Amino acid sequence: MNTPESLWRQISLGSASKISDAIEILNKTGLKIVLIVDENGYLSGTITDGDIRKGLLKGVRITDSVEKIYHREALVVPPAMKRETVLQLMLANKIQQIPIVDEKKKILGVHFWDEINTANLRSNLMIIMAGGQGTRLRPATNDLPKPMLQVAGKPILEHIIEKARSDGFRNFVISIYYLGTVIEEYFRDGSKFGVKIQYLKESSPLGTAGALSLFESPPEEDFIVTNGDVITEISYGQLIDYHRLHDAIGTMAVRLHEIQNPFGTVQTDGLYITGYEEKPISHSTINAGVYAFNPAALNTLSINEACDMPTLFERLRRQSLATIVYPIHEQWTDIGRSLDLQKANSIPHLNPSSGING
């Protein structure tokens, strides 16, 4: 796809911009690339999801300059290159976007994989943990399981399934316990939604990982697990590709979380003041509730034994098996409280009538 100028300018930034500006463009456009250009429209480099993830793993902050992460030797193609050759370059270099430039590296457009090649279907299972009781959302969850609460006119679960389906997933397993029949009656076998759905039925609460012990036959290939109350724009397909690339047994999607202290903090040594910081911001990495696993990870579970995801990862780690993180910057909402549900109903791409941008 040779993008019109109006589009590629929407995904362009100057080299003095912040990484947060690049993240905003990636989230807003969904095009998975940002062009770093000079004032005359000449290409200096590119930023992709992968560049941001690598930067976050190295400790780069989103308030830092894009100079710290952008790729200065980006692969580019001339406008006359044939479609078949562009596809071969994308496959050989494992990329999904290639800028189109003239002989002086002035931007003319961008080729996107999704536009010149149909999406691959994935045989991998997508497992959705939907058995929780949602006590913090009562009374809304008195008669509905939390994953069936409405966001922009659809159950949370339906948004998750639609997003995974757009990433090529067709095979789903939903773990149910609390008011599980409501979920079964709505989704049935999934055919109405263009997918295949099966169910794991908990006889008692098994935590965020324990239901994985209920498979009669374990999955034959790597699979995705997500909490049934997480709405996100991450690519589940890219997550499982990343997981495979690093030959991990378990991969956890994680997100940078910032908390600002409302007070100035004082550093002391006995009676003496050694320093002062006004309203400092602390950073931490949080579990985003989305995972990829090798089937061998299930060997650490006992049938019908309650187990949470942190415990499962700790068991794998103690066996010296590769457990890794997948840093995300994409839109992500964990719906645990009424305020979170209100926030989810204001996500622009789910509810354009909300009138809220960002």
Q: Could you tell me the domains of the chain?
A: 5-116 (3.10.580.10), 122-350 (3.90.550.10)
- Predicted confidence at residue 190, as pLDDT, reads 95
| pLDDT reported for residue 50 | 87
Q: For the beta carbon of residue 341, count every other beta carbon within 10 angstroms.
A: 19
Per-residue model confidence (pLDDT) at position 3: 52
pLDDT at position 229: 94
In 58-166, alpha helices (H): 83-93, 113-116, 156-166
Q: Which residues on neighbouring strands pair with residue 125, listed in sequence order?
A: 171
Among residues 205, 223, 196, 210, which one has the least CA distance to residue 291?
223
Residues of the chain predicted below pLDDT 50: 1-2, 352-358
Instruction: Look at residue 352 in the predicted model and tell me its pLDDT.
Output: 47
Other CB atoms within 10 A of residue 285 CB:
14
Cβ burial of 150 (10 Å; 0-12, 13-18, 19+) is middle
pLDDT of residue 183: 97
**Three-state DSSP string of 190-201:** CHHHCCEEEEEE
- Residue 91's SS3 state is helix
For the full predicted model, state whether its pTM sits above 0.85.
Answer: no
